[in-house]
Structure 1
């Protein structure tokens, strides 16, 4: 059994007034654009979390759960300001260590004083970081923050990643005061590869991908995505309101669902990209698309009370382009007055193509059907990691040739010599053929469907790669 300190990393929250650069620091520490940054105060609303590893000077690795919430004292839309405040409370109250971030350019403000007093009352280890110290003059001015009584500030510039290593060392020191044995030896391999399929007589072998299953919740704004995540988590993890666009970041939420660890990504939602590349809404949409690429399974949310249109078609294309297993999740079904069959007929008409996905009719608000969606996602995830045995793959190719004949284009007739599975998550098959351009789109879809069925579900997306054999090898094969 794993030691407790290895299983439950300590939590570190970045706190401070609005627009001090908390999300920029969050991104610098995580090493990726995990939180949206913008010059507008109050950009961060939800509680954004990430598990990170910090390398200590002692040669050990310290895993912590890093949290970024809204700024203390932010003024936002009246309807969601109390919910943002609750997210801030969850971060600072749930953290073991606090990083108090201040802005060296502005000096001490009334909001800094109020935030410092609030943090002081918590009685937790605090690391003070003075951000935006790009110059020596800014560093000299930043010493004024020692007057807050929370310790000597560490001079950093989060955007330029200046002195981030020094800040990380201070965080580790604070962690060690609470848990001296929190460090662990670094892993032998920095990147965990998906293991190759073992050779045995099973028809399909499941590979294991390290880490929890990642589920992205995708759909237009205000269709109930955050309500679904909260229902699954059993509490308010994402801010929910009737204001469209309340969620701005793609929020990672770690959930233990009946013994299964999940990483659920609540996206900001699909919206029109007409507001300019520098707006928060545009950044939210770009972050949503990144979330789809990170996901193992995507839940395509449809609000059954809103007409289906261009945004839903875009969401479907996004999932298809990234070859992701997906579940069509029809939300707010408790408000519907039509049958399942009639709604699916309407949906295919509006989407302009057949829906070849598992379908779930749920009510996130009533917590109806939520668990079943996760169970279906887990089944798709397991199938996406399977490998077909050689015998099953050969029989499937024979069935394809017998059931659909040979494809042709002009004077060329296509022929599949053999195939091999070259990847999982998603399943990837490389087909060695004589003329790749002889295989038109309908024939390719037929091949995909047959291979997916062999893996366990026709609704599972697979990726095909066509490789032409040289004419010399083709002639050599015919002589044999």
Structure 2
């Protein structure tokens, strides 16, 4: 998907507009400048066109010099990574020195830039938005991020300028494997070990990899695209911008991959950040493989690996289907099993089950455990069919779709996995009225 970045100085309403585009409340908004600290990503759709959106947030440093440097970094990153840029300004304050500075940078890019004059809540403010034409950046779109006024015209113009990427992605049949994880867990080391060459720079400093490095690997005659993503955090004077850059690349790699290989550090164990990355891959419906790296640094006996697996499975009760591999990228121990597991998951994600087979299995499962009643009436599932692959989606047709609650949905998913596998693949079950 194309990527759209929202940039601008603090407190012009970037996060409010992000929430409107993505129909979410993920970005924290407040009248105080600089409230947004975490970088937020989401998906928007307009007139049938889907695109990714990144909210660059507001950065509040301690001095004006660092402030200008931080803003400049974020805009430069946006120019480099995004396919289109929404430059937000504030009608109520008019053109400021920071707006001028940002405009100067944006005038140098050949990417589409849309001046979004926010807080145009009435006709008078809409007319006042014309003052932003002095920035020299094409059309000005007066909107109200809070009420939605004027956003339709802006989005109509935006989607016309976005590149069509979906066809290119669909035409490339090579498996795309994204190696993701926290900083310094060995992502670049694993990539180099698989490729047999020093493709990525490897050091002991967290966040060394800034760019997502795409490489093509031939595995038993089959071409595989490997993506070594940037780390998620690095200590720096302007830490938020470095983290923004790295996370943006990881986010895009996850969105474009077929299978996410999540590395964890054996010397640190499973962390909350590891779980967040797994959850993000699941939300995007990507294939999943969990890899414990640096296994050579662990003191072990005959039962150590089994104990580790039991401990990890215990902490990840809803991801029992995700394959788990223990490796050492440094010594190349068991690294071939990472590719074997990832390719199994890739094929599972593309698997299509015949409707007759599905109904034979699930009708028996329904007979063994009937759905709970809905408002005193029995819920009857008539039949099920797989409507999509990669990722797989199963449609259940019944008399009361709203009567299927989460526990029974999990029961049905468990029956599908028991019969047909789908190792490492998130399944989507939808319920429709027959």
| Matching of residues 289-300 of structure 1 within 5 Å | 289-300=251-262
| Matching of residues 4-43 of structure 1 within 5 Å | 39=72
- Partner residue of 1:229 out of 191, 196, 199: 191
- Offset, 1:330: 0.8
Are residues 353 and 458 of structure 1, via their aligned partners in 2, closer, same or farther at CA, if it must alter by over 3 Å? closer
Partner of 1:309: 271
- Number of residue pairs the alignment of both structures matches: 289
The structure having more radius of gyration, on CA atoms, is: 1
- Offset, 1:157: 4.0
**DSSP 3-state at the match of 2:252:** helix
- 2:167 aligned with 1:191, yes or no? yes
- Structure 2, unmatched stretches of 5+, are 1-50, 57-69, 81-104, 114-164
| Matching of residues 113-192 of structure 1 within 5 Å | 157-159=109-111, 191=167
- 2:281 aligned with 1:319, yes or no? yes
For 2:384 and 2:236, the matched residues in 1 are separated by 44
- Partner residue of 1:267 out of 229, 251, 257: 229
Q: Which has the higher contact order (CA 8 A, sep 6+)?
A: 1
Partner of 2:175: 213
- Partner residue of 1:364 out of 329, 338, 341: 329
Partner of 2:416: 451
CA-based RMSD of the aligned residues comes to: 3.7
Q: Over residues 400-445 of structure 1, what are the superposed CA-to-partner deviations in whole Å (9 max), with x where a residue is unaligned? A: 2133322345535432111221111011111112222222222212
8 Å CA contact 2:383–2:397 kept in 1: the answer is yes
For 2:358 and 2:349, the matched residues in 1 are separated by 16
Are residues 428 and 157 of structure 1, via their aligned partners in 2, closer, same or farther at CA, if it must alter by over 3 Å? same
Partner of 1:239: 201
8 Å CA contact 1:245–1:269 kept in 2: the answer is yes
Q: Over residues 278-328 of structure 1, what are the superposed CA-to-partner deviations in whole Å (9 max), with x where a residue is unaligned? A: 612123213312221211111121111014221012112112212222111
Are residues 256 and 158 of structure 1, via their aligned partners in 2, closer, same or farther at CA, if it must alter by over 3 Å? farther
For 2:236 and 2:249, the matched residues in 1 are separated by 16
- 2:392 aligned with 1:416, yes or no? no
For 2:189 and 2:293, the matched residues in 1 are separated by 10
8 Å CA contact 1:325–1:460 kept in 2: the answer is yes
**DSSP 3-state at the match of 1:279:** helix
For 2:234 and 2:311, the matched residues in 1 are separated by 23
Are residues 453 and 460 of structure 1, via their aligned partners in 2, closer, same or farther at CA, if it must alter by over 3 Å? farther
Partner of 2:432: 467
TM-score normalised to structure 2 length: 0.58
Partner of 2:306: 341
- Offset, 1:351: 4.8
- 2:368 aligned with 1:392, yes or no? no
Are residues 374 and 190 of structure 1, via their aligned partners in 2, closer, same or farther at CA, if it must alter by over 3 Å? closer
